[in-house]
Structure 1
Amino acid sequence: MSGLQLPGAVTVVVPARNEEESLPPCLAAITTAAQVLAATYPSIDLTVTVVLDGCTDGSAGVVADYPLAQSLEVDFASVGLARRAGIGYALSRLARPMEEVWVANTDADTVVPADWLVEQCRLAGQGVQLVLGTVVPDPVGLDSERARAWHQAHPLDDGHSYVHGANLGFRADGYLAVGEFAALQVHEDADLTDRLKAHGITWAAVDSIRATTSARMLGRTPGGFAGYLRELPLTGRGAAG
């Protein structure tokens, strides 16, 4: 560990739009990941920002129940702008050079693994500036046929080709250099990743920090993960098993 150039600070940003029910497991998982980070790399500062984008439910109250997290209220109806606002807010409160800051992104309907932050920091310490993690749909509420179709279409391994805003990390200086998240309602993650790669940063696609996201068929944005699950081509409908 001694040879690693670890980040000096990590900021976690979570966009949320009426996610009162999904935020508790999301923030509980981030809290666990924060505890593991503090035990492994105690010198790294951590902040967590939940961006409440036009929320009309009890999401703000949920965030208030988790001392680790702070909320930022906006009204964009755009996941790209929500992520951008949250990162901008978090970075403005850090008195550090941006090359020392790591930004970890997830979604309010996602549960990250306990080593989520530790693994990203370990990779950052090896010189990686962009980490693309994997995501699997929550088996709860997902029928077996659709689950099979998803896993057949998404073999999971290091070196994968997937981009998920629900499991994405990058160094802050590279993020700012390419113009931040765009004002997109969908695929803002792929758009940013394409620009980061074109900028020449060092990146890694890993399956070592696999997150679990909601398998709901109706999402908060058009398209996105929920839309993809809904439109999956299914075979063998009605077959046993």
Structure 2
Amino acid sequence: MNVRIAQLVVVVPARDEEKTMDRCLDALEAALVRLHETRPLDSPEVSIVVVLDRCTDGTASIVARRPGIDAVAISAGKVGVARARGIERALTAAAAAPENIWIANTDADSAVPADWLCVQLEAAEAGHAALLGAVRPDEEGLDAERLAHYLRRHPLRETHRNVHGANLGMRADHYLAAGGFAAVATGEDATFVTALENLGLEVVSTARAAVLTSSRLLGRAPDGYAEVLRAVAG
């Protein structure tokens, strides 16, 4: 089933990420360039929303220097609220109908590959409700033995069932039907995917365009990705 996607919405929650925010936005800009090069005549409109959640460092200033990036500040301290708020802001401003909008989620401590938006759009146009993307930890801060152990436990394969908010896409009408992201500090991504599947909607996965994400062992979200790496490191 071919679906026309008129708009791609990229949502990035950030909480005190001044060390990685430039890398994140540089990567998104490169992905946008690749999308326009690949689809020069029919690429959808792309909007990027960064949600500044309780930021007390220089993250907001970094985002403010980037033209075309929409920023919204909140004080929830919960990534589920941040993702939902960013999506709400983008959909409110969107001219397209929800069934013609694809929402691509990543994180401020992550860097998407150049083909990331192309892979997201491909899944959207194929008519899938959601796409579970893969992540790979930044080798900096994680020694070779621990990295190899992590990859053995989380292999990059098309049929993976890992849910990562740093690489998760969904169509806007399905997002709304499933009730959106829960207002929780962690696990909002997995809870949302379960809600989609409970509705009988098609959720697919891919190892293509794996997102590079922080290998820090102390993360912003309790029991989040940093907890997985800490278990490996332990």
Q: Give me the whole-angstrom Cα distance separating, in 2, the residues matched to 1:210 and 1:43.
A: 21
Identity %: 43
Q: Give yes or no for the alignment of 1:194 onto 2:194.
A: yes
Q: Give yes or no for the alignment of 1:25 onto 2:27.
A: no
Alpha carbons 2:11, 2:51 under 8 Å: kept: yes
Structure 2: state its 5+ residue gaps. none
Q: Give me the whole-angstrom Cα distance separating, in 2, the residues matched to 1:112 and 1:96.
A: 25
Paired residues in the alignment total 232
Structure 1: state its 5+ residue gaps. 235-241
Shift of 1:7: 0.8
Describe the SS at the equivalent of 1:50. Answer: strand
Instruction: Out of 164-173 and 60-69, give the one that drifted further.
Output: 60-69
Alpha carbons 1:80, 1:185 under 8 Å: kept: yes
Q: Give me the whole-angstrom Cα distance separating, in 2, the residues matched to 1:66 and 1:233.
A: 36
Instruction: Out of 139-148 and 71-80, give the one that drifted further.
Output: 139-148
User: Which position in structure 2 is the counterpart of 1:47?
Assistant: 47
Q: Give me the whole-angstrom Cα distance separating, in 1, the residues matched to 2:152 and 2:119.
A: 26
Alpha carbons 1:51, 1:72 under 8 Å: kept: yes
User: Which position in structure 2 is the counterpart of 1:165?
Assistant: 165
Structure 1 residue runs of 4 or more that deviate by more than 4 Å after TM superposition: none
Q: Give me the whole-angstrom Cα distance separating, in 2, the residues matched to 1:226 and 1:202.
A: 28
User: Which position in structure 2 is the counterpart of 1:216?
Assistant: 216
Describe the SS at the equivalent of 2:185. Answer: coil
- Structure of higher CA gyration radius: 1
Shift of 1:4: 4.2
Instruction: Out of 218-227 and 34-43, give the one that drifted further.
Output: 34-43
Q: Give me the whole-angstrom Cα distance separating, in 1, the residues matched to 2:103 and 2:15.
A: 20
Alpha carbons 1:4, 1:122 under 8 Å: kept: no
The TM-score normalised by the length of structure 2 is 0.95
Shift of 1:233: 6.4
User: Which position in structure 1 is the counterpart of 2:154?
Assistant: 154
Alpha carbons 1:134, 1:206 under 8 Å: kept: yes
Alpha carbons 1:132, 1:163 under 8 Å: kept: yes
Q: Give me the whole-angstrom Cα distance separating, in 2, the residues matched to 1:207 and 1:43.
A: 23
User: Which position in structure 2 is the counterpart of 1:237?
Assistant: none
Describe the SS at the equivalent of 1:179. Answer: coil
- Aligned residue type for 2:45: D
User: Which position in structure 1 is the counterpart of 2:74?
Assistant: 74
Shift of 1:43: 3.8
Describe the SS at the equivalent of 1:71. Answer: strand
Describe the SS at the equivalent of 2:184. Answer: coil
Describe the SS at the equivalent of 2:73. Answer: strand
- Aligned residue type for 1:190: A
Shift of 1:140: 1.1
Shift of 1:223: 1.4
- Aligned residue type for 2:97: P
Describe the SS at the equivalent of 1:29. Answer: helix
Q: Give me the whole-angstrom Cα distance separating, in 2, the residues matched to 1:13 and 1:201.
A: 22
Q: Give me the whole-angstrom Cα distance separating, in 2, the residues matched to 1:32 and 1:228.
A: 29
Change (3 A) 1:43 1:150: closer
Q: Give yes or no for the alignment of 1:6 onto 2:4.
A: yes
1:30-70 deviations in Å (ceiling 9; x for gaps): 01111112222344111000000010111111112222311
Q: Give me the whole-angstrom Cα distance separating, in 1, the residues matched to 2:32 and 2:82.
A: 22
CA RMSD of aligned residues (A): 1.3
Shift of 1:211: 0.7
- Aligned residue type for 1:133: G
Shift of 1:135: 0.3
Alpha carbons 2:102, 2:169 under 8 Å: kept: yes
Q: Give me the whole-angstrom Cα distance separating, in 2, the residues matched to 1:65 and 1:4.
A: 38
1:62-100 deviations in Å (ceiling 9; x for gaps): 112222311100000000000000100110000211000
* Within-5 A mapping of 1:110-125: 110-125=110-125
- Aligned residue type for 1:20: E
